Amino acid sequence: MDVPGESRLGGGGGGNDGGDGSVGVQIRQTRRLPDFLQSVNLKYVKLGYHYLISNLLTLCLFPLAVAISVEASQMNPDDLRQLWIHLQYNLVSIIICSAILVFGLTVYVMTRPRPVYLVDFSCYLPPDHLKAPFTRFMDHSRLTGDFDDSALEFQRKILERSGLGEDTYVPEAMHYVPPRISMAAAREEAEQVMFGALDNLFANTNVNPKDIGILVVNCSLFNPTPSLSAMIVNKYKLRGNIRSYNLGGMGCSAGVIAVDLAKDMLLVHRKTYAVVVSTENITQNWYFGNKKSMLIPNCLFRVGGSAVLLSNKSRDKRRAKYRLVHVVRTHRGADDKAFRCVYQEQDDTGRTGVSLSKDLMAIAGETLKTNITTLGPLVLPISEQILFFMTLVAKKLFNGKVKPYIPDFKLAFEHFCIHAGGRAVIDELEKNLQLSPVHVEASRMTLHRFGNTSSSSIWYELAYIEAKGRMRRGNRVWQIAFGSGFKCNSAIWEALRNVKPSKKSPWEDCIDKYPVKLSY
């Protein structure tokens, strides 16, 4: 923010500044320096506070341990003999306490939740001939003859401001004029995406498909009979007693829901694998009308899908990439406005499409707030939780005049995978969570390279982080996705090793080009 009077000192050709504005710059720097120093001091004060609170128990126990060590070193043989005699007289008590301790430890080990490991995952990379540069997209839209001039201009503006690049993909059927919209074409798209991701996953993990005990598939808009999960069972000849699930109509956050379901099944069924397949189908869900709220998905959604291999086998810990730490799900479907903010319906001419409400971003923000209120106590260090609690108390005491404290989630996570639903979604979360550009880089670059691939976008983002070589042992990843309903779901993973990208990563041939500079 400029200081009043700066423009007069730094501008024009008069005065003692020689016309180059140097005095104005010098004064501006001088006035901003205290603010800068204050921000630096506050930064280190907060880091010191965080370190103190996080290590408070250690700092308190250290003097006690030193005192005990000193006292023990000063004990003479007679003292030790008396201690042994005392223990002999209380042998029965010691045996009972030991038995209780062993029994309690056994019960804990037998009943504690078994860890769920992410062995590996794969994202589908479509062939180059399915790419849809902006010019081809707009030319194709004009040739279909279904869009009026206003609708075409609206789509052009959305594309330019969307954050998508020139290399995103649309399905085969949409490259024809007129588009070949049929059940057969939709099945073909689903098979290409799901089987492409699964073939790569099985090749990278050397897992026999018949060893898969649980299969969860999510696709919001395409639900044929037999189901998508049945198509996978048929293709890979999975075993007859497989527990298969098909999730439909759950929007872009269904990938986290599918992981949560697979986790619950792995906690019940011992020593097995679960595969989660997340995708969306565009072929039969392209909107050919002129209602602007329904045209936005045409400009954002693109072909993509992922396959994830989960395991509850202890021996898989050695080769697994991640361990599932938490899943937190928030559903605001009880609110009518939230329920209808992403809504599939027909327009006045009978054409079906998905309508996006103008209240979408506000509802997403409220749902996010609810989600992180639940997530915060599970992941934030105690220092942040104390600050947050103190702010709430002060807010109650001073009748809401205290500014709410936004927890620093950068202290809990090293990496963020924000659903690449659109530029506005990423911008809003970057601002509200006070993230730096590097924290949202994976989301922005995934949106640029692949577009909105719905529930699989968070896996393309995780693949980007791996391809950049940024994932280190012990790092925590926050996958967060929004979906119709309205839902906000979070999955937290912890890296078990320094993770390298898997073979045939979707970023394998282009990671050196990223990050790219975006201009909207």
Among 246, 312, 341, 415, the one annotated catalytic = 415
Distance CA 165, CA 446 (A): 10
H or E segment at 202? helix 183-205
Catalytic residue among 252, 299, 341, 417: 252
Euclidean distance between the first and the last CA atom of the chain, given in angstroms as a whole number: 24
Nearest of 249, 373, 322 to residue 479 by alpha carbon: 322
* CB count in 10 Å sphere of residue 223: 14
Give the SS3 label for residue 205: helix
With a CB cutoff of 8 Å and minimum separation 6, the contacts of 367 are: 330, 332, 338, 482, 486, 487, 488
Phi, psi of 325 (to 5 degrees): -100, -55
- Distances in Å between the Cα of 195 and the Cα atoms of 57, 431, 508 are 51, 38, 19
CB 155 within 8 A of CB 361: no
Q: 268: Cβ–Cβ under 8 A, 6 or more apart, which residues? A: none
415 assigned to active site: yes
Of 229, 228, 239, 235, nearest to 273 by C-alpha is 239
Identified catalytic residue from 219, 331, 371, 489: 331
Say whether 175 is catalytic.
no
Name the catalytic one among 123, 281, 419, 488. Answer: 419
419 as an active site residue: the answer is: yes
- 252: annotated active-site residue: yes
Catalytic residue among 298, 371, 452, 489: 452
Catalogue the active-site residues: 252, 331, 415, 419, 448, 452
